[in-house]
Every structure is written in structure tokens, then in C-alpha cells.
Amino acid sequence: RIKLKHGSHREGKRTDSVMQKWRGNGLGQFIHWGLYAIPGGEWNGKQYNGAAEWIRSWNGIPKSAYDSLIYKFNPINFNADEWASIAKNMGAKYVTITTKHHDGFCLWPSKYTSYTVANSPWKKDIMKPLVDAYDKAGLDVILYFSIMDWNHPGWRYDIKTKADSIAFEGFKKFTRNQLIELLTMYPKAKGLWFDGTWDKSWVKQAKFADELEAEMRKLRPGLIIGSRFRADEYGKRHFDSNNVLMGDYEQGWERKLPNSIADVHGNDWDCVMTIPENQWGYNKAWKGHIKSSNELIEMTAKAVSLGGNFVLNFGPKGDGSIRDEEKKLASEIGDWMKVNSEAIYNCEYSGLEKQDWGYFTKKREKDKVYLIIFNTPVSGAYRVKLPAKTAIAKSYLLTNPNMDLRVEEVHSNEYFIYAKPTTEAKPFVIVLDTKKKENNGGNNYEKAK
Ligand SMILES: COc1ccc([C@@H]2N[C@@H](C)[C@@H](O)[C@H]2O)cc1
């Protein structure tokens, strides 16, 4: 093991109640909103072929023209309570909201820059109504913050000269000031989701970032900070030079999911996902492959089955309204969650061997296993392999707990469960109440003939 001063300061999962709550959330909402939502991926009638929130980096636009969008920010249809109710009705337990994306525009009236809502036609704080609305709806709030800030004169991609170094010192102070300001103005926030931390300039700030993280944790005990915030003194990110996770959960799963439990290395993690292929901010063009609610439910089930959270992104329009396509998907997911969320909330990796029909989840601290079925075998039988000492006490559809399903032991500790798939093409849940096997090793159901 390498001696590290600024590596990870904790091994293994956090065990405190704030993190336990986060771990059990299962489904979250991401909100990407800012000036980029005004052009919505288009400028002078031309489509930008990258991600809409990166349109400022497009050669087709003079940077000053983009920066002047602040004078167009007047979201007359902004309704924080509506956003929160969309998330609540989807079944999300928390939300991650962009306070400042890479363009540096602040959705809160920061004292440390003029590039904020306070100097837009809207004038008012956006973050406070959002934090309060989601909190009132019972959802936890996580603040997204981009370290990279294209608007701040002190930002540098790397530090090559004395002048760079002097400029960046000012930028570091500004960054610290804004983070302390956010935690002070919005004390209800449960955590920070950092982005824009891959450039060399920031990666070289192991000591500063380590001390800043410690200061934020002291100011806000229980604060949840992911693996993307800081690098160790050797420039290692997400995992330090001893391969120990930085921060409280792994943030590497952006627009992708781990494929097996081996990929998550026993850590907490979240997967943040776009509905289109790769658009976080609002894009007028709703093009390419748009994920269906079935696909998004499957991603949620897969994430929870591997011990993580699934955080689905919404990109509100420049006027503050949420597009119909996103509202429709949120309500379809919500319809499924209303019936099946017992298999998602406070569930974890089951330890059981993955089967082709879908995903296992297990209720934390309970002998209850869920089979979230996406693919029904032609045999009509759902295969389950259990550890030697575990028996099935009861098996039933989540939607019909009074009707026991037929269970056949096809080998020792291997079972077929028979259930008729639902009529509509939607995933459904089979519940297994498990118990310790009596020492006679017998199970009280039919043996294979
Ligand atoms: C260099 O590639 C990227 C890709 C995505 C991002 C940002 N992370 C996502 C959570 C969005 O905020 C996206 O703009 C930044 C750099």
C-alpha cells in the first residue's frame, strides 16, 4: 500500500443513517437546467450535434453571444412544485439539481460572481424554491456543482505558467466560497454531486480539495460527496492509488450501468442516465433513440439489483416548463412504481446468481427476495438458485400475496417457480419469503418427480 496523505479517508460503505437512507432510495431524478435550455441545442436555426448543455463550446457560437443569454433568462413557466410533483409521482426518492453547470451561470444569487439569476430578468433565486418544493414533497436534495467554470476569469484547464498559478489560486478561493455559500444557503441539501473535475488544473489540487472536502463535511455533518470531487496526490480519480474509493459512493456510472456485481467492488454507487442517447440540458430535437419507460424501469431494476441507485435526467425548457415526452415517461414509470416499488425501495444486491428472466433484489435486513421479471422463458418457469441453508417459505406475485405460486425443486437448492406473466407487456414482481432450512433439510413442497 502506498502512503497517501490525500487519498480516500474511509474504506467500505458508510454505515450512518443518512447514507443508509441514500442507499435505499433506489430511484432519483436529475435536473439539468440553465442558460443552455434557452437555445435548446440550436443556434440561428442550426442544430448543434453535441449535448445541448455544451453548446457554448460549439465553434458556431461566439462565447460572448452565449454568455449574453443571461439577459434572456426569464422562465415565466417555472413551477418548482410541479417539478417536485413530477418526481414524486415517478417514485423518485431524491433529486440532483444543477446549481452551476460548466458555463458558470448560477441558479442561486451567489455573492461571488455577477453571472447569476440575480442579474437576469428573472432576478429571483431558483434554488430556494426548488429545494423547498422537493423537500416539501418528501424528496432529498443533492446539489450538482461543476468545478470547471467557463465564465470565471481564473479558470484554467492546466497550470503552466506563474500567471496561470496566480489566476487559479483566485479560482480556488472562488470555488470554496461558492460551495460554503451553497451549504449555508441551502442547509437542507443532503449532498453534493461534483462534475467538471477531470482537467489537470483541478487534478493537481489534491491537498486543497482534500481540505475543502473536510471543511464541507465539518460544516454539514453527514454530507454525501461522491468519488468525482477530488484526486489523490498522484492524480488518481474515483479510486485512489491504493484502489480505495474516494468519497462516499462511486460516480463513474454516467450513461452506463455496471454489468455484474464484480463491477461495483462492494461500494455504493449511482448511475445517472439521459432519456435520449446523450442530452442532459433541454434539446429541441427529441432525436435518436429515446428510452421507453420499460427500458428505464429495467435500468432501475438492474441498478438496485447491483446495489446502486438509478438517477433519471430531466431537462426543463428555457421557459421553466417540462416537456410532454418527459412528463409522460415519468408518469409511466410512476404507474409501475406505485404497484412494484416494494421491490426497489430499501432493497439491495441479493447475492443470488443472475437469471435470464430479469433481476433479483433483496429487502435490506429481511428474508424477502424479489424477482423483477422482464423475460418470461418459454417453459413458463422462473429459475432460482438459493444458498444451501435457505429455503422458500412462500412464493407469490407482489400483486396477489394470497395466492401461493407453484414451486418445484428441480435440483438441490434450485427451483422452478411457475407464474403466469401479466397480460400487459410490463415487468412484474414475484416475491420469495425465504427462511433458514430446518436441519432435516426438507422443504415443504413437491419434490421433482
Ligand atoms: C467530457 O465528457 C463529458 C461528458 C458529460 C459531461 C457532463 N456530465 C453530465 C452529468 C452532464 O452534466 C454533462 O454535461 C461532462 C463532460
pLDDT digits (tens, 9 = 90+) for 296-312: 999 999 999 999 999 99
Going by alpha carbons, the residue nearest to atom 3 of ligand 1 is 196
Banded model confidence at residue 449, pLDDT cuts 50, 70, 90: very low
Residue 372 and residue 391: Cα distance in Å, rounded?
Answer: 19
Residue 85 pLDDT: 98
The residue to which cell 442530452 is assigned: 279
pTM of the model as a whole: 0.97
In this model, does residue 113 exceed pLDDT 60? yes
Residue 167 pLDDT: 98
Q: How far is the CA of 54 from the centre of ligand 1 (A)?
A: 8
Residue 446 pLDDT: 52
Average pLDDT over residues 348-359: 98
Residue 276 and residue 291: Cα distance in Å, rounded?
Answer: 6
Burial class (CB in 10 A: 0-12, 13-18, 19+), 238: middle
| All cell numbers assigned to 79 | 413551477
Average pLDDT over residues 182-197: 98
Which of 195, 279, 311, when mutated, tests ligand 1's pocket best, judged by the most ligand atoms within 8 Å of its CB? 195
Q: What is the pLDDT of residues 23-53, one digit of tens each?
A: 999 999 999 999 999 999 999 999 999 999 9
Q: How far is the CA of 164 from the centre of ligand 1 (A)?
A: 24
Q: What is the pLDDT of residues 3-12, one digit of tens each?
A: 999 999 999 9
For the four alpha carbons of 294, 29, 254 and 257, in that order, the dihedral sign comes to negative
Q: What is the pLDDT of residues 261-303, one digit of tens each?
A: 999 999 999 999 999 999 999 999 999 999 999 999 999 999 9
Residue 65 pLDDT: 98
Residue 196 and residue 205: Cα distance in Å, rounded?
Answer: 14
Distances in whole angstroms, Cα of residue 54 to Cα of each of 36, 70, 357: 8, 16, 39
Interface ipTM above 0.95? yes
Chain centroid, CA 125 distance in Å: 24
Q: Is 280 in the pocket of ligand 1 (CB under 6 A)?
A: yes
**Nearest atom (ligand 1) to Cα of 101:** 12
**Nearest atom (ligand 1) to Cα of 195:** 8
Q: Is 53 in the pocket of ligand 1 (CB under 6 A)?
A: yes
